[in-house]
Amino acid sequence: MLKYMTSKQFCVILNFMENKIKIGIIGLGTVGSGVFKTLQNFKNIEIVKIAVRNKNKKRNIENLDESIITDNPYEVVNDPDIQIVAELVGGIEPAYNLIKTAIKNGKHIVTANKELLAKHGEELFNFAEEHNKVVLYEAAIAGGIPLIMPIKTILAGNKINKIKAILNGTTNYILTKMDIQGASYAEVLKESQELGYAEADPTGDVEGFDAAYKITTLATIAFGKRIKIDKVYREGITKISPDDMKAANEMGYKIKLIASAELNDDGRADVRVHPMLVPKSKSLAHIDYVTNAVSLTGHPVGDVTLSGPGAGEFPTASSVVGDILAIASELGRTDYLLPMMRCRHCENAVMMDVSETENKYYISITAQNSKGVIGRIGKACEDNNISLASIVQKEVAGDNAAKITVITELSKEKDMQKVIEIFNNDSAITKVNSLIRVQV
């Protein structure tokens, strides 16, 4: 085949084969370490510089040349030899400014920074396009699960209109352990922190921030319209109780923190993160511990579910390195790299407020064990356009209190909130313990 190439084409390929692609890494934590170790297997890649917070920290990494370590990340983004920068520190600053500086200096970007993309993705992608550079971010959504590239390539011929996903391993681990052990949220959280699954400050995970960042970017890619993070409804798992877990199981459900996104018939985007009762007949009900999964619905493909490790050293490194190699394979071959992977969004999605959404609901109530209480519950629902699928009074505590569980038919969120307000002001109802949406 070489005799059909021009001499210029042959020289380009020969140069690519002989010259190593020079990489800079910002961050050598769990993911950065995995990326470094994995890249050692590729002879055409040279890691030129690595930026860390603490240059003197002992690292148990074989073949780590201490001379390439710096505690100044601007040495990475300003190095004229570096062609690709992998940003693996997370957060907004200094990551935002570092990435912009690297792009301005002619470098392509690979990042795992879900918060930065959710909050400033539009600016970064536009800035990269202005400078004809690529920003890839496969690792920012679901660790080692390939999502972005399949959606932009293999599934590009589909109109995806629905996503249901488990995108946070920490919360999924906690909910799984609560389900299996019958333990409280507080007990399992403590255990998760001791095992290293949950941070000392778990707020980002347990209050749904992490999953909200991820579904924001994933829905933007899948729907082809920008989703604004400040319009994404978010609710965490801290109020889930062992009683909720037990009741859900008895009714044929599992409780999961679900990140969902749907394009409605009128074109509005309904994007949110909150706990849900997931029917045991659904695949997401059986995604346990730290595993992540994403179910996509589109035409013509139908339903597709991808699952795998959503975090960790090597699963996340797998996605980062895949992006690095995708860019490396194009360098020197074209002036406009990876056109299918670039941002092509030209409009913001019209977002649907959660109050306008329709859901089924699970409600757990503690009430007085007296005549007419169930009737009052039913009347409040009837007066607010809510039909009941079931209502069960299962047990009576020693203090003459009854535990009542309600499952509704499809109802408007705003109507359900009116009912909850009525319950909270009803002297016969001691407490509304839980209100959890049910996956249809």
Catalytic residue set: 214
CA distance 180 to 235: 23
Question: What is the chain's alpha carbon radius of gyration, rounded to the nearest angstrom?
Answer: 25
**CA terminus-to-terminus distance, the chain:** 56
φ, ψ for residue 255, nearest 5 deg: -95, 125
- Count of positions (residues) in the chain: 440
Q: Helix 169-181 crosses helix 185-195 at what angle (to 10 degrees)?
A: 130
Q: 300 preceded by cis ω (within 30°)?
A: yes
Angle at alpha carbon of residue 401, lines to 397 and 407, rounded to 5°: 100
Residue in the block written with tokens 């002297």: 427
Residues 418 and 381: their CA atoms lie apart, in Å, by 9
The Cα 2–Cα 10 span in angstroms is 7
* Pairing relationship of beta strands 45-51 and 429-438 according to DSSP bridges: unpaired
- Classify 395 in phi/psi space as left (phi over 0), alpha (psi -120 to 50) or beta: beta
Q: What are phi and psi of 436, to 5 degrees?
A: -130, 135
| φ and ψ of 206, to 5 deg | -70, -20
Distance (Å, whole) CA 387 – CA 415? 11
| Rounded Cα–Cα distance for residues 375 and 218 (Å) | 44
Distance CA 322, CA 337 (A): 15
Which parts of 105-184 fold into alpha helices (H)?
Answer: 114-130, 139-142, 148-152, 169-181
Indicate the SS3 state at residue 391. Answer: strand
Q: How many CA atoms lie within 13 A of 190 on its CB side?
A: 4
Closest among 132, 133, 92 to 110, alpha carbons compared: 133
